[in-house]
Amino acid sequence: MATNVNALLESLRETKVWKSIFRRGPANSNRTRSLAVFGNLFLHWMPVKVREKALHVRVSYYLGSISFLLFLILSVTGILLMFYYHPAAPNAYRDMKDLQFVVSSGVFLRNLHRLAAHLMVFMVFAHMFHVFYRGGYKPPHEFNWVIGVKLLLVTLFLSYTGYLLPWDQLAFWAVTVGTNIISAMPVIGEKIRFLLLGGHIVGENALLRFYVLHVVILPLAACVLMGIHFWRVQKDGGLTLKAKDSDGK
Amino acid sequence: MANNKIEIGFSSDAKKDPRRVVFVTKKTSAKVLGERGPEVMTYPHLLLREAIAFEILVIAMVVIALFWDAPLEQLANPLLTPNPAKAPWYFLGLQELLHFFPPFVAGILIPTLVVLALVVIPYFNVNVEGEALWSRYPSRNLRGVLVTTILVLAFLVFFDAWTIITPTAIVASVLICSYTGRQKTTGWQAALASKPLSWWIMTWFIAVSICLTVVGTFFRGPGWSWIWPWRPHVG
């Protein structure tokens, strides 16, 4: 059975259509396996070869990969949630109730998005601390560490802007408490808070601004920064390995 | 008109005008790349692992999302302030700081300094080798550590910030323990004694952050008073 499936897949990879889509035949030689990476728009920033030791779980715990995968899950669930959401008060709250009682699997969709969001904040922090303890910020990785810090800030802002969107008491007061802190900044604090909220209190304008930041501006910023971040990992010579990683344990 | 070539600072003809590529002095040795070790193809070895990580992650998250509902409270009401009004968990450490320090210090100064400190980490070329804190001048370094610790603790005591004092004191005592074990070659004391100063600072920072976040999330009730999460309270 399994061999039949394999044989079928093999013959599929030899077809004209397959080759026209993937620009190569079956990846059965190192040349075609290299092509599979650098001949693919979505993978071409990756190295063709990686050091065997860099694949060990203990080197990275896949924390960076998991953060990125969570971003993918958040994008998909977030787009689905956008179909059911109006960034206006109090419609936003009614949409939450609709997700709960009207939309099929609406609660599940929201649960998944919220869980992934909190997990992503946690994973990005974990990734940063792990990279620090491994010395992953040392030359030539200095600037990629800085981009990582920016990505941490974008992640925090993404999560925080999303926190307001359900427009319930939890959301409203969490954002009120947070944005009140900005007023403590001397001279420009009040102005920055006004710019962020579109007013002096957390109201409809704030909801709209947070929505635009949450679904357009911050995800775009995250995508650009992630692109540079991943590409730089390869350009700077891959993950940082320590001497003790060479024990092969 | 004939000469409208773009003038640049140096010639691009390497044969005619050789340029210095590397400059090796007596003090610095040319950096030699170490052996990179055996390599494997990204496709399939790395991509397969990423795919497995993705599948495990999705399955685990779907299972959790089926049973753990995202909270939804009443419609936002600007006239009804909950007590306490809490920010999301990742900002509760800051909110806990606000309890001890004025808003400008806790809300603006400290976060800004933390972000700046994170950004400059790779540009501080102090101790790139990761030399252990006690490897050279151990008694001088111990004196420095003790004076700094006492100053920091005195500052925190002045503000009565005991949720910062506790993790600080714990990390400081482990640090001093590692001094007494600096001669050992095996065991946890030897492992700790091999850590550089940057390791200790980051560990202290993480310990304080975790303590503040956990206290802010679970142990703070009405008026930011201390509560026990397992005991019901009026709120």
Task: Give the separation between CA B91 and CA A160, rounded to whole angstroms.
Answer: 9
- Cα torsion angle, A38, A43, A44, A49, sign: negative
Quick one: pLDDT at residue B12? 63
Those residues of chain A that have pLDDT short of 70 are 1, 243-249
Task: Give the separation between CA A62 and CA A19, rounded to whole angstroms.
Answer: 32
Task: Give the separation between CA A111 and CA A114, rounded to whole angstroms.
Answer: 5
B180: pLDDT confidence band, cut at 50, 70 and 90?
A: confident
Quick one: pLDDT at residue B77? 92
Task: Give the separation between CA A240 and CA A142, rounded to whole angstroms.
Answer: 12
What is the distance of C-alpha B164 from the center of its chain? 16
12-51 in chain A: CB under 8 A from chain B: 27, 30, 33-34, 36-37, 43, 46-51
B178, pLDDT greater than 90: no
Q: Are A36 and A92 within 8 A, CB to CB? A: no
pTM: 0.89
Query: Average pLDDT over chain B, rounded to whole?
Result: 85
B34, pLDDT greater than 80: no
Quick one: pLDDT at residue B155? 92
Q: Is B16 a domain residue?
A: no
Instruction: Go through A209-241 and write b for each residue having 16 or more CB atoms within 10 A of its CB, e for each that does not.
Output: bbbebbbeebbebbeebbebbbebbeebebbbb
The CA distance from B158 to the nearest CA of chain A, in Å, is 22
Quick one: pLDDT at residue A103? 95
Domain boundaries, chain A: 62-239
SS3 B185: coil
Q: How far is CA A195 from CA A244, B105, B174, B180, B218, in A?
A: 51, 22, 46, 55, 33
Q: Is B145 a domain residue?
A: yes
Q: Is B220 a domain residue?
A: yes
Phi, psi of B220 (to 5 degrees): -120, 125
Contact A115 B61 (CB under 8 A): yes
Q: Are A52 and B40 within 8 A, CB to CB? A: yes
By the CB < 8 Å criterion, does B71 face chain A? yes
Q: Is B6 a domain residue?
A: no
Lowest-confidence segment of B65-69, B156-160, B184-188 by average pLDDT: B184-188
Quick one: pLDDT at residue A249? 38
**Tally of domains in chain B:** 1
Structurally, at CATH architecture level, domain A62-239 sits in Up-down Bundle (1.20)
Each residue's pLDDT tens digit, B75-127 = 999 999 998 889 999 999 999 999 999 999 998 999 999 999 999 988 886 66
Q: Which residues of A touch B61 (CB under 8 A)?
A: 73, 112, 115-116, 119
Contact B70 A185 (CB under 8 A): no
Contact A62 B50 (CB under 8 A): yes
In a mutational test of the A interface, the residue from B48, B52, B57 whose CB has the highest number of chain A CBs within 10 Å is B57
Phi, psi of A49 (to 5 degrees): -120, 145
Biggest distance spanned by C-alpha atoms of chain A: 73
Half-sphere exposure of B98 toward its Cβ, with a 13 Å CA cutoff?
23
Q: Are A144 and A152 within 8 A, CB to CB? A: no
- As a whole number, mean pLDDT of residues B23-41 equals 66
Quick one: pLDDT at residue A237? 83
- As a whole number, mean pLDDT of residues B185-193 equals 83
Q: How far is CA A80 from CA A76, A85, A103, A166, B64, in A?
A: 6, 9, 11, 15, 19
Quick one: pLDDT at residue A248? 43
B56, pLDDT greater than 90: yes
Its domain, for residue B179, covers 89-124+137-224
Q: Is B160 a domain residue?
A: yes
SS3 A83: coil
